[in-house]
Structure 1
Amino acid sequence: MARTLPDHEACGHTLYRLSCDQYESLLAESGRGCQICGLPSSEMPDGKLYIDHGGAPGNWPVRGLLCISCNSRLKHGMAFSPKAGRYLEDAWYARQCRQLGISIDGRPEPPAGTAVQDNFGNFWVKELSFWQQIRPNKAGRKNAYAWTGLNALCGPFNLHPVDCLGNVTLPLGDLEAVAHALRERLPAELMHHLGRLLQSQNHLSVN
């Protein structure tokens, strides 16, 4: 994808769980100027605005893009001017949650055997009480989180149920139809994990 330079010269935005598309959207929304005082990014020391975050646990709750001065003054999340107050009330991450109709605390936890995909393309499968990241062709320990921890890591609006039949998601009443769709559409590694989980629950065969 095209990147706005120098703002998007590197992908440090991933530390705040922002995909490249999300970061470009923020740059466009801000007009490449501080979202409180309007100072352009070209006047920043490195030509970039600061990614401001806060209001919920984790790095994902990005509020917007600010100059170094406004970012420092919002260190404790307290409005220092009417414009700062309006900025805090209309935080970017809160708008993303509202648009999807979900709480900033996350969606209700899906049942075991369900898969979700985050905004970086990673798949997560629920095994017992934890969500494990599927890492095809990668050795080593797999990341595992409770549902609250996964939401705190990724942000609730960045977790999407795996869509296997177009406009319906797992789990479905017609489990054999799900098995067929999974075989056709999902990565082999994710297919293997879902198959093992569903078989352990005596649901269906996906081989």
Structure 2
Amino acid sequence: MSAASSSIARVPLVDRTAATGTVRAVLDQVHGAFGATPNMFRAVANSPAALQSMWGAFGALGGGVIGAALGEQIAVAVANRNACDYCLAAHTALGRKAGVSGEALAAAQAGESADPRTAAVLRFVLQLVNERGQVDAADVQALRDQGVNDEQIVEIVAHVALNLFTNYVNVALGVPVDFPGVKLRLAH
């Protein structure tokens, strides 16, 4: 069942204004960053540790070396592969905000890109997801052949891990989508 097909979350959505302590502090940061408090963070706020982990990972990777545009294309590819309506909608909106065209985001859903470097990254990302991390030296070398360095490779894996976390939260907990909807593409 996808998040979009569920109208009621399977855990309470924490109200930022009623939250206290660490949860309130983190939700205030989230609200400041988005101008609203997305439902995903409200669901994760049921666990202060999970909320701090997720928000900290977003902050750390947001300041990383691969850049927002590629990070959002990775997120869209992973969300589409995992049939996460929530993350697909959120990262399509964030990708557009990062300057990625609608066409490039639609291509990323299928793990494709007109840019050879981005295409290699997206192929690797989907291989990580499909094979549950079981890639080999040749797969990593294919990234290096496109000019992706070791720092970027490790960061790409971290983006995949974060997106698996968010996808699983949204799908498993039926978090209602509060971003403009995007149609999932069938896997090839």
Please confirm whether the aligned pair reaches a TM-score higher than 0.5, indicating the same fold: no
Q: Which has the higher helix share?
A: 2
Structure number with bigger Rg: 1
Q: Which has the higher strand share?
A: 1
- TM-score, length basis structure 1: 0.29
